[in-house]
Structures are given as structure tokens and as C-alpha cells.
Amino acid sequence: MSTPLGLAAYARITANYWAFTVTDGAIRMLVVLYFHQLGYSALEIALLFLFYEFFGIVTNLAGGWLAARLGLKSTLVGGTLLQVGALLLLTVPEAWLTVAWVMFAQALSGIAKDLNKMSAKSGVRLLAGAAQEGRLFRWVAVLTGSKNALKGVGFFVGGALLFSIGFQAALFTLAALLLATLTFSALGLPAGLGRVAGKPKFTQLFANSHAINTLSAARFFLFGARDVWFVVGLPLFLSTVLDWNHLQVGAFLALWVIGYGIVQAATPTLFGQRGHHPGGRAARGWVFGLMLLALLIAAALALGLNPAWSLILGLAAFGVVFAVNSAVHSFLILDYADADKVAMKVGFYYMANAGGRLAGTVLSGWLYMSGGLIACLVASAAMLAAAWLISLRLPS
């Protein structure tokens, strides 16, 4: 059993992560739909997120090191306040919303997101206990799964707020929500949670085991494979080819991500008894299945099958398999990491995650302009094949 402190701190971390995730998903949907409405091309919209992903790479490296020196509470609070600032930066008059301005706001949001994610997941590793692998698998699956379900809620909230009250009012509403939640979450968290004795060197971030390096490389391609078609290509396809309005696009993507999060949270039940947990073999098997699904969706669109049903059914299957993949990865990095340096190892791992998202986001806009959604899906399958090959080196 966990201690009362562990349960209370876990609840506070989770509440902050939930609120942050809603705003993160809402910003993504607001920016994609609003700037498409203003006449931006698919590639220009993708470039708006360039610094979001790039600074996520930098933040995961520096954030893990900072958390080891200052504690996870400091990085969690700092990340949340940065997100509030990023929201407010976008409330300026429309004439100020240049590409450079929005990229700067998205850079702050990227830093905020990865500080928050690294802090939350590292905190769960410490609170669950080093020897409690079954509990760790359940706790991280619930945290990650609920986060992804709420990101789907954020997609819907973003689309619905844009549809109902407009861009600026939506941003003020999200900033107020985040500040209110932070007030509750910051109180009661141990100040020294995750702080390493002494002063860890920055170079220690790269002193990782073979398993962590291999898993990080596989993570790069896994999340690049998702974002290469999901971030820009899919919303624009739904809006322009299927002629869905903003509310319909936001609702559909929200339902997909909510279902994805529910499956992710329930993933421990797929592995049998409560104390059982997955290894490298599970990571390999599920990513291979995901590669086949990406190819099947691309083939259905290429053959001229009904595009709406091809995407709805294909996305449902893709979401289930991707959710299990992500849950397995999220457990493995915490299982591989040493408890006394967990923030640094998790930071390195999510640096690879952010790198994959960056590559996928930029490619999504370019490929959609040059070859449509089919080109994005073929690129996704190629990235998943790379993730599978790398995963062959994971401990079974």
C-alpha cells in the first residue's frame, strides 16, 4: 500500500497534469483551425508549432537536470505558469499575430508542456516506490491514459470555444482554469521531491543504459509516426476534403483521443495479473501491428474507398494499438530509470519524444501539401518500421 503522503501528492500532481493537458489540447486545436481560417497554408500552420517541438527537446534535457537540483515541485509550478503566459500572449489584437509572434508563444508552451510532463511522470515514479512495479505500471497507465483522454477533451474545448466565443475569449478562459488548478496543486507537494543529493552534472544526462538509449530511439520514431499525419494533415483533411466545420473536427478528434486515453489507462489489464508488467517483447509486437494499420488506412484511401468511414474505422483501430504502445513505453522508461536520477533519465527519454514530434509535425505540413493524407500515412508506416527494428534490441 502507498503512504497517505504518496496518495495525496499523486492526486495533486494528477490534477495539475489534467488541467494543463486540457489547455494544451485546446491551444493546438485553436491555432490549427483559427490560422487555417485566416488563410495560412498547411506548411505555414505546421511551422507555427516548430518552436513548440524544438524547445520541448531542449526543455527535456535542461528540465531533468533542473528538477534534480531544485526539485520536481519547482519545475511543475514553473511549467504551469509558463503555459499561462503562452495563452495570454495569443490574446493580442489579430494584427499582431504574425508567424514570429505565434512561434514565440508556442515556444513558451512547448517549454511549459515538457516541464509539466517530466515533473508529473518523474513524481509518480518516486511516489509509487522503487520495488512496486505492478503499482508503478497501474499508476503511470492511469496518469498517462487520463491525460490523453483529457487532451481529447481539450481538442473539443478548443473547437467549441472557437465556434462559440471566439479566439481571444477562449484563451482567457483557459488561462483562468489553469491558474485556479495550480493554486490547489502546488499546495502540499513536498518541496524536495525528486531533488538529488549533491549537485548533479549536466553531462550525467547522457550517461544512460543501453535499454534507455534504445527505448528513447524507438520513442522518437513512434511519436513521429503519429504526428506526421495527425497534427496537421488529418485536421485539414477533415476540414477541406470532408467539409466538416470547426466544431465537428474538434469533436471527432476529441472522441478519438478520449478513447485512446481510456484504452491506455486500462492497458495493465491486458497483461494479466496485477503484479505483471510488460517488457521489450510487448513493445516490439504492438509497434509492428501499428505499422500494418497505417498501411491499411493508406491503402483504403488510395483505392477510393469511402474516405470518412476509412478514417473513422482506421483511426479507431490505430488509436487502440497506439495507446497500448504508448503505455508500455511510459512504463518501461520509469522501470529502467534509477530512482535517484529518475528526472534526468525521463528528461532524456522525452527529449527523444519531442524530437520525434518535431520531425513529424514539420513533415506533416510538407507531405500533406505535396501528396495529401496518403503520403503522410506512408511516412507514418516507414517511421513505425524504424521503431520496430530499433525495438528488437530492447531486453525481452
**String of DSSP letters for 270-291:** GGSSTT----HHHHHHHHHHHH
Spatial separation of the C-alpha atoms in residues 144 and 150, rounded to whole Å: 10
Place of cell 527505448: 215
Domains belonging to the chain, first-starting first, are: 4-186+208-391 (1.20.1250.20)
Spatial contact of 219 and 353, defined as CB atoms under 8 Å apart: yes
**Burial class of 197 by CB neighbour count within 10 A (0 to 12, 13 to 18, 19+):** exposed
- Residue 4 is predicted with a pLDDT of 39
Q: What share of the chain is helix, strand, coil (3-state, %, to 5)?
A: 85, 0, 15
Containing 13, the helix (H) or strand (E) segment is helix 4-37
| Average pLDDT along the chain | 80
Q: What is the DSSP letter of 242?
A: S
pLDDT in tens, 158-169: 888 888 888 889
Q: Does 349 score more than 80 pLDDT?
A: no
pLDDT in tens, 8-17: 677 777 788 8
* Cβ-proximal residues to 321 (8 Å cutoff; 6+ apart), any chain: 286, 289, 290, 293
Exposure on the CB side of residue 230, measured as CA atoms within 13 A: 25
Spatial contact of 90 and 145, defined as CB atoms under 8 Å apart: no
Q: Does 303 score more than 80 pLDDT?
A: yes
pLDDT in tens, 111-159: 888 788 777 766 666 665 544 555 666 666 777 677 777 777 888 888 8
Q: Does 184 score more than 80 pLDDT?
A: no
Give the mean model confidence (pLDDT) for residues 37-57: 79
pLDDT in tens, 195-251: 555 555 555 555 567 888 888 899 999 999 999 988 788 888 888 888 888 778 878
Q: Which segment of 27-36, 169-178, 311-320 scores lowest on mean pLDDT?
A: 27-36
- Residue 19 is predicted with a pLDDT of 86
